[in-house]
Structure 1
Amino acid sequence: MKPVEIYTTPTCGFCQAAKRLLTQKGAAFTEIDVSRDPDLRAAMTKRSNGGRTVPQIFIGGTHVGGCDDLYELDRKGGLAPLLAG
């Protein structure tokens, strides 16, 4: 499986939902908490081409977007192949 990175904050319900879907799909992920580190948040925003909200999700270096984008990708049948590489 491709590596998954998810930028989050502890109180974000959308972050929890995204992590739950990734877990259901058997994907291990690295969680990056941006709540207390403005440099990490700035890096997330730059990496996601201006995305300032959490979560911001990357699969194998590809920017997926946020929680809604992740669920939409799954509904369209694109999440499993992206995770598999």
Structure 2
Amino acid sequence: MSFLIWIIVGGIVGWLASLVMRTDAQQGILLNIVVGIVGAFIGGWVISPLVGVGTINEGISIGSVVVSLVGAIILLAIVNLFRRGRMR
């Protein structure tokens, strides 16, 4: 059941991050899900211990979704940096 939650929340978080980073036209739903899941992992691993907020695995809350969103935005910024040679 947690895998299904990862897919749903990952899709939403990836879509929101792609809107923030203005890469929504370049990505499809599958890439949004991947970005959301990897971003949630990055956020849970790096940001969550710094701010003391739980991760998506510990339960869905506003804080855990924000941490996942920030992680996904960081991931898209890194991808844009390598793809274009500069940040947008």
* Band the TM-score falls in, shorter-chain normalisation: 0.3 to 0.5
More helix by share: 2
Instruction: State the TM-score, normalized to the length of structure 1.
Output: 0.36
Instruction: State the TM-score, normalized to the length of structure 2.
Output: 0.35
Q: Which has the higher contact order (CA 8 A, sep 6+)?
A: 1
